[in-house]
């Protein structure tokens, strides 16, 4: 009935989303505490420019990317077009912030005479960013802007979902590699002695994994997926009719 309130969220969904946000804010706070307490803070045109890199990557490639993936679970009954736009906007914001972090590390390396792109972290991180950018462009082209046929969108959607989750996992993995590399680069002599900086950075790594697990759990619960709205069901039926070679009235074409 028109004007009726939307049905409530499935049991447990709101709690898990709340936990994910609490974990996300905590990992951002932990990153800031690490950089501020032990790495001297941040300033763009200074020797501290590098510190913008880990903060931007955690904020963009983990927290905002995770929230972008949760959009279709949180906004379950809003218009699909609006939900798509928010999904694309959060991913686009994550890309911009991550780009700032990449610029920071390259400029910092150049100023200090440090080679670029020699470590496993840099290889995985750059590959993840490039693939994430490609995923965003393809997603906008297929789902947000007009032009792609419904059959083509239906074919690409499973690939988009798979690579979206895969890139989220790769982003967290790259961050874990970066944390380890940064610790070994800065406190290699004392890391094994359980110094406070090492414990705090290890805690950040655990928070990253926990955030990824909670987001992944929400995404993979079948009963928590966004229910199709009436117009989506109609399009789905039209697509099924076309692929089965039947006319809308039930006769064969």
The answer to whether the beta carbons of residues 13 and 224 sit under 8 Å apart is yes
Residue 49 in domain = yes
Question: Does residue 239 lie in a domain region?
Answer: no
The pLDDT value recorded for residue 5 is 59
Number of folded domains that form the chain: 1
Provide the pLDDT for residue 7: 66
**Concatenated DSSP letters for 161-189?**
HHHHHHHHHHHHHHHHHHHHHHHHHHHTT
Q: Is 2 part of any domain?
A: no
CATH number at residue 176: 1.20.120.1770
pLDDT score for 77: 84
Whole-number Å distance between alpha carbons of 56 and 102: 8
Predicted local distance difference test score (pLDDT) of residue 253: 38
Please report whether residue 245 resides in a domain: no
- Would you state the structure tokens that stand for residue 28, as one six-digit string? 């951002």
One pLDDT digit (tens) per residue for the chain, 253 residues: 445 556 667 889 999 999 999 999 999 999 999 999 999 999 998 999 999 999 999 999 999 999 999 999 999 888 888 999 999 999 999 999 999 999 999 999 999 999 999 999 999 999 999 999 999 999 999 888 876 678 888 889 999 999 999 999 999 999 999 999 999 999 999 999 999 999 999 999 999 999 999 999 999 999 999 887 644 544 444 445 444 554 444 443 3
In a domain, 105, yes or no: yes
pTM of the model as a whole = 0.87
What domain range is 174 assigned to? 13-226
Q: What is the pLDDT of residue 153?
A: 85
Helix (H) or strand (E) holding 118: none
Whether residue 1 is contained in a domain is answered as no
In a domain, 79, yes or no: yes
Of 92, 93, 95, 115, nearest to 105 (Cα)? Answer: 115
In a domain, 244, yes or no: no
Q: What is the pLDDT of residue 151?
A: 83
Residue found under tokens 């590098």: 50
**What is the model's pLDDT at position 218?**
97
Per-residue model confidence (pLDDT) at position 229: 60
Closest to 75 (Cα-Cα) out of 89, 61, 62, 63: 89
């Amino acid at each position: 009935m028109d004007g009726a309130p939307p049905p409530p969220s499935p049991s447990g969904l709101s709690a898990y989303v709340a936990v994910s946000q609490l974990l996300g804010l905590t990992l951002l706070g932990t990153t800031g505490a690490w950089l501020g307490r032990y790495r001297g803070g941040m300033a763009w045109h200074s020797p501290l420019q590098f510190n913008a890199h880990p903060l931007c990557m955690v904020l963009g490639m983990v927290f905002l990317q995770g929230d972008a993936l949760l959009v279709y679970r949180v906004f379950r009954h809003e218009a699909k077009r609006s939900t798509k736009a928010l999904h694309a906007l959060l991913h686009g914001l994550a890309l911009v912030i991550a780009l700032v972090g990449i610029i920071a590390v390259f400029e910092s390396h150049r100023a200090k005479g440090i080679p670029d792109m020699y470590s496993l972290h840099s290889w995985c991180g750059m590959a993840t960013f490039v693939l994430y950018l490609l995923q965003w462009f393809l997603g906008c082209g297929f789902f947000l802007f007009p032009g792609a046929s419904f059959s083509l969108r239906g074919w690409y959607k499973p690939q988009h979902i798979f690579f979206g989750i895969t890139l989220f996992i790769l982003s967290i993995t790259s961050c874990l590699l970066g944390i380890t590399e940064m610790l070994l680069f800065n406190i290699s002599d004392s890391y094994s002695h359980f110094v406070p900086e090492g414990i705090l950075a290890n805690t950040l790594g655990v928070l990253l994994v926990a955030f990824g697990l909670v987001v992944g759990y929400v995404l993979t619960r079948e009963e928590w997926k966004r229910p199709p709205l009436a117009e989506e069901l109609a399009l789905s039926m039209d697509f099924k009719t076309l692929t089965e070679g039947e006319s809308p009235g039930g006769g064969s074409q």
